[in-house]
Amino acid sequence: MDLHATHHPDLTIITVAEARIDAAAAIRFKDAMRAATAAGAGPVVLDLGNVTFVDSSGLGAIVAAMKQMGGDRRLDLACLTPDVAKVFRLTRMDTVFTIHDDLRRLNSRATG
Amino acid sequence: MRQDGAPLVPRQRPRAVTPETAAQRLSLSTPASDLAVRDVLARIRSWLHASALTDEDRGTVEIVLAEALNNIVEHAYPADAPGEIRLDLALDQARLVCVLSDHGTALPGLRPPDGTLPAHDVARDALPEGGFGWFLIRDLADRIDYRRAAGWNHLSLELRHSRL
């Protein structure tokens, strides 16, 4: 699973470079997220702008990725495409995560 | 409200089957594996691409079929001996009917699970990492039928078009 991490002083943005987080990708996604978040301790924003499809396994893997970060370390989501937003909304997982419409404000905050 | 004794009149006469109203059909067979499910969903997506379905309806179809196929991959067959899944899709102007057939383990109690939404208002460590599949199917499909016959499971999922 290709993830691209951009490290800012008080924020890490992780962009998923693949189009699907589904049953075939869920374990690889969770493992890649563990590797990508292992070094830091600050908040992470997961940029899902390239992801067009998340099934229940992928949703579970995103929840697992947050839980494995430990403690109260934040994992927010950004740039949900319509079908992905629908899965989060129907399962009420949109109430568990803070969801940002776009990265512009986050980037300007991150760069000061 | 209907008055007692009033005759029951069908709301609509059945439409004659003409080339315009006849269903388009697609039949597929696939091994029951995660990667094969991905390929099947891509083929169905391109089949639906030419249809009059809205983007939202196409997304709904993909979610429902993904969850139903994932369940078969995960629960019907042993992981080391994946069997076959057959799909028969019929699309007309009102609805898409998908019949998914496999010859694996029957659904418990010979009925589709209730699909209760896992609790989300819990401590972070207790948040659910699964169990959403049947909830999504039940929430999005307009009709679900399950039949076990001659060692096969037949799950029929009907989705009506939102634009009608």
How many alpha carbons fall within 13 Å on the CB side of residue B121?
Answer: 0
The architecture in CATH of the region B26-160 reads 2-Layer Sandwich (3.30)
pTM: predicted TM-score of the whole model, two decimal places: 0.89
**Number of structural domains chain A divides into:** 1
- The whole-angstrom distance between A112's CA and the closest CA on chain B is 30
Binary contact (B131, A56; C-beta < 8 A): yes
For chain B, give the number of residues.
164
Which DSSP category does A94 fall into?
A: G
User: Within an 8 Å CB–CB cutoff, is residue A89 touching chain B?
Assistant: no
Give the residues across from B84 on adjacent strands: B31
pLDDT in tens, A45-100: 999 999 999 999 999 999 999 999 988 899 999 999 999 999 999 999 999 999 99
Nearest residue of A to residue B56, measured between CA atoms: A83
Of A20, A22, A90, the CB nearest to B139: A90
Binary contact (B129, A67; C-beta < 8 A): yes
Query: Which positions in chain A touch B138 (Cβ < 8 Å)?
Result: none
Q: Does A11 have pLDDT greater than 70?
A: yes
Of B70, B73, B127, the CB nearest to A67: B127
Complex ipTM over 0.85: yes
**All structural domains of chain B with their residue ranges:** 26-160
Domain boundaries, position A44: 3-110
- The whole-angstrom distance between A10's CA and the closest CA on chain B is 22
Give me the CATH number covering residue A12.
3.30.750.24
State chain A's maximal CA–CA distance in angstroms. 39
User: Within an 8 Å CB–CB cutoff, is residue A55 touching chain B?
Assistant: yes
Distance CA B67, CA A52 (A): 16
Confidence class of residue B11 from pLDDT cuts 50, 70 and 90?
Answer: low
pLDDT value for B164: 46
pLDDT in tens, B119-135: 999 999 999 999 999 99
